[in-house]
Structure 1
Amino acid sequence: MSLRANRVSEQMKKELGEIISRKIKDPRIGFVTVTDVKVTGDLQQAVIYISVLGDEEQKQDTLKGLAKATGFIRAEIGQRIRLRKTPEISFEFDESIAYGNKIETLLKQIKED
């Protein structure tokens, strides 16, 4: 990833937290944490990694709500970050947190045995 793409992803991560928590009023969207943003080198695409508090149904509802608000979120990012073209955005769950928790649980089990 280029230095510029890295800077844009960090800026987007910062702005997205505020946009999602303050600007979007969709009741389907639960407590969301933006864990990472990956922007392509040409700044055309951005994948936003999120973690959501709640069960599987709440997570899926949140993803649907965010998908519906994609246009609004892109417009907000476009206003806040001065770019010639705002990247296309998509949301994905950050599985690394769940993976880390699973490893921690397994290590505790090994230690107890």
Structure 2
Amino acid sequence: MSKHKNHREQTPGGSQRQLRVGELVRHAVAEMLMRGDVHDPVIEGHLITVPEVRMSPDLRLATIYVMPMGGRDAGEVVAAFERHKKFLRAEIAHRINLKFAPDIRFRVDERFDEAERIDKLLRSPEVQRDLEQGDDE
């Protein structure tokens, strides 16, 4: 294994190429949502963000993270995207110039939930007490 390849595997989120293609896919999906190209009552009934797309090292699989505003009906929204996977994959292939159209899968972006959980924990009386005791020392 070459030194260059080893460095690339350690890059958070993947290689520069993975990150660049992921961003192209993210923009393509976000544009389709903004223009209303995906005709589904669940998708049309929610404001949906696409915070991230992660590409596999061979660029053949795109994991598209979606989050409806307020986290409302996240499971239903992902199911709606799955129903339109074939259409979305074809549109992505048409909009970005890749040798192969990547397979796509959808996941709920749970980073917001995790951030909220940490925030609540930091505001808990136990943590506040520990922080105040730390100031006295």
TM-score by length of 2: 0.74
What percent of counterpart residues are identical?
A: 31
The one-letter code matched in structure 2 to 1:10 is E
- Aligned equivalent of 1:44: 60
Question: What's the RMSD between the two structures over aligned residues?
Answer: 1.8
3-state SS in 2 of match to 1:24: coil
Q: Distance in 1 between matches of 2:84 and 2:21?
A: 21
3-state SS in 1 of match to 2:41: coil
Q: Does structure 2 retain, via aligned residues, the 8 Å contact 1:21–1:32? A: no
Matched, 1:6 2:24: no
More helix by share: 2
Q: Does structure 2 retain, via aligned residues, the 8 Å contact 1:66–1:91? A: yes
The one-letter code matched in structure 1 to 2:61 is Q
Q: Unaligned 5+ residue runs, structure 2?
A: 1-13, 130-137
3-state SS in 2 of match to 1:35: strand
Matched, 1:97 2:121: no
Q: CA deviation at 1:55?
A: 6.0
Structure with more contact order per residue of length (Cα contacts < 8 Å, sep ≥ 6): 1
- Aligned equivalent of 2:79: 64
Q: Does structure 2 retain, via aligned residues, the 8 Å contact 1:38–1:46? A: yes
Q: Does structure 1 retain, via aligned residues, the 8 Å contact 2:53–2:63? A: yes
- Aligned equivalent of 1:87: 102
**Following superposition, which runs of at least 4 residues in structure 1 exceed 6 angstroms of deviation?**
none
Q: Distance in 2 between matches of 1:101 and 1:92?
A: 19
Note closer, same or farther for the CA distance 1:84–1:97 as it changes in structure 2 (3 Å cut).
same
Larger Rg belongs to: 2
